[in-house]
Amino acid sequence: EPEVTQTPSHQVTQMGQEVILRCVPISNHLYFYWYRQILGQKVEFLVSFYNNEISEKSEIFDDQFSVERPDGSNFTLKIRSTKLEDSAMYFCASSGTTGWASGANVLTFGAGSRLTVL
Amino acid sequence: KQEVTQIPAALSVPEGENLVLNCSFTDSAIYNLQWFRQDPGKGLTSLLLIQSSQREQTSGRLNASLDKSSGRSTLYIAASQPGDSATYLCAVRQGTDKLIFGTGTRLQVFP
């Protein structure tokens, strides 16, 4: 069964450092997402990406964050200057369609990248 | 602002029991509702997706219902097994790209 692959599975970084989290979505999917889950809290939407641009972003997704699809297969989340509160599990997801296109937009999530900021 | 709540927060049952997990949302204007399973330290696995026009969806021992007007969904798990132990999340999609997740129900099924 096709899956979304995320690397690294766990990254430890010092506050202020830049981090890049990588994702390989399912190959024929067109819509890509990042979510995060701080330990003990809800899963929260960060950003959605379609046709090489951001289609929606949350208030969390400020100038510190950026996303890119550099080569047609990878989808990356960059955090420019990490803060302690960025420590979380970051999930990448992809779907073949989106809500208003057909309604059948099942998201497939990756296993997550755990980011620990010290 | 849409709020999604799940009860109970945690549930521990013996193997073989039939279970009902509840999800409620404050704004009934949704496109769909999705149930996920989350295993410790792992990603989210989609279990069932119910469109706003549907009343229920079934997959194996799982049945999810949706009552949009009352802002409720239930996930019914028949004949629970220890392998069903996980956190179950519901999430709604409105007229935007994002899913809004609930608080989760942590389920433990013991032999």
DSSP string, B24-79: EES----SEEEEEEE-TTS-EEEEEEEETT-SEEEETTEEEEEETTTTEEEEEE-S
Cis-peptide, bond into residue A70, ω within 30° of zero = no
> Using a CB-CB distance cutoff of 8 angstroms, which residues of chain B are in contact with residue A109?
36, 43-46
> Using a CB-CB distance cutoff of 8 angstroms, which residues of chain B are in contact with residue A103?
31-32, 51-52
> Using a CB-CB distance cutoff of 8 angstroms, which residues of chain B are in contact with residue A108?
46
Cis-peptide, bond into residue A8, ω within 30° of zero = yes
Give the whole-number percent of chain B exceeding pLDDT 90. 80
Summarize the confidence of residues B74-91 as an average pLDDT: 97
- Would you state the pLDDT for residue A102? 44
Summarize the confidence of residues B35-53 as an average pLDDT: 89
- Chain B contacts in chain A segment 16-55 (CB below 8 A): 31, 33, 35, 42-45, 48, 55
Task: Confirm or reject contact between A109 and chain B (CB < 8 A).
Answer: yes
Closest approach of chain A CAs to the CA of B11, in angstroms?
Answer: 17
Task: Confirm or reject contact between A103 and chain B (CB < 8 A).
Answer: yes
Which positions ≥6 away from A72 have C-beta within 8 Å?
Answer: none
- The 10s digit of each residue's pLDDT in A61-87 is 999 999 999 887 899 999 999 999 999
Summarize the confidence of residues A24-39 as an average pLDDT: 92
CA distances from A43 to A80, A114, B12 (A): 22, 13, 23
A98 confidence band (pLDDT: 50, 70, 90)? low
The phi-psi region of residue B82 (left if phi > 0; otherwise alpha if psi is between -120 and 50; otherwise beta) is alpha
- Would you state the pLDDT for residue B60? 95
